Amino acid sequence: MKKFLGIIILLTLLSFKCEDEIEFNDNQRLSFRGRVVDFNGEVLNNIPIEIIATRSFFDPYFQSGLNLEEGELAGTGFSDEQGNFSITSLSPLNAEIYAFVNPPESRDFQRNRTSFIVSGIDVDSDLRNLVFRFPNDIVLDRIANFRIQINRITDSIDTLNYSIRYSPLIPIENIEQDITASDIPEINEIGGQLLPTETLMSEDLEMRENDMILFSYSLSSDGIQKDSTITINAENRTFVFEF
């Protein structure tokens, strides 16, 4: 009896495992093609590209908004000397494809560059000729370490409320129609307060070089919000706000 019970448990476990696994089509391959450049249009070579098949969808708990941990790597390669790539991938059955340029999980991740994702690629509708071409050049900005510093230089005992909005390091271009834009984090935002007892605050952030960030602030006493935009570039890596 115990023997039969063991077999039943084993079969049950196997059936659960089989359901989760992504299968691949026999006798079929897909091709993903594009070009990677930097902000100035200079080609970027040796950038890793991964083609991931997954059934999981947007997940707000992940930085990029995508839960790719359950995905299966179906294709991989690098951009060549001209920045071009042509990657052959397996063809997943009943799963969507995410093309991930410079993924942070990759062994060859270019740490000083941003990443880029095209999400929701459907094999049947988006790959009719078995080719997916990225419509435009994929731009990977440099990542800059940026410091925002707030100094209290008056005797005011007001509380300063502030927020900083900046572009995500992993922008997502979603081509899936049934997912709304609100599912995708198009902008990153952090915020905080400078309490009357504090005279100095600083935040160190990783941001995209050449990005425009929006610094918004208000005082608790009047509640009027004021905005200030800052452009990050090679010369401008620190923003000091004094009030």
Partner 1 sequence: MLKTAPLSLNFRKKYCLLLCLGLILNLFAQDEEEDKGWKKYHYDVLGEAWVGYLSPQFYGDNFLSEAFDTGDGIIFGINVLPSDKWYAGAQFSSFRGDVTNTSLVGVFDATRIQQFYITGGHSFLKQESRLSLKGGIGAGYVGLRNERGFERFRDEGFGIMADLVVSYRLTTFLGIYASLQHQWLFMDIDVPADLRSFFRNVTLFAPSIGIKFSML
Give the distance between the most distant pair of CA atoms in the chain: 82
Give yes or no for a contact between 120 and 212, defined as CB atoms under 8 angstroms apart. no
**Distance of alpha carbon 76 from its chain centroid, rounded?**
18
Give yes or no for a contact between 173 and 117, defined as CB atoms under 8 angstroms apart. yes
CA distance 190 to 163: 6
Give the footprint of partner 1 on residues 171-200 (CB under 8 A): none
The DSSP H or E segment spanning 12 is helix 2-20
By CB under 8 A, tell whether 89 contacts partner 1: yes
By CB under 8 A, tell whether 124 contacts partner 1: no
**Distance of alpha carbon 105 from its chain centroid, rounded?**
12
Residue whose CB is less far from partner 1, 131 or 187? 131
By CB under 8 A, tell whether 227 contacts partner 1: no
Binding span for partner 1 by CB under 8 A among 73-81, 107-115, 137-145, 232-240: 73-81
238-242 and 143-151 strand pairing: parallel
Residue whose CB is less far from partner 1, 74 or 169? 74
By CB under 8 A, tell whether 130 contacts partner 1: yes
By CB under 8 A, tell whether 13 contacts partner 1: no
By CB under 8 A, tell whether 109 contacts partner 1: no
By CB under 8 A, tell whether 77 contacts partner 1: yes
Question: Which residues would be at the binding site for partner 1 (CB under 8 A)?
Answer: 21, 23-29, 31, 73-78, 87-90, 129-131
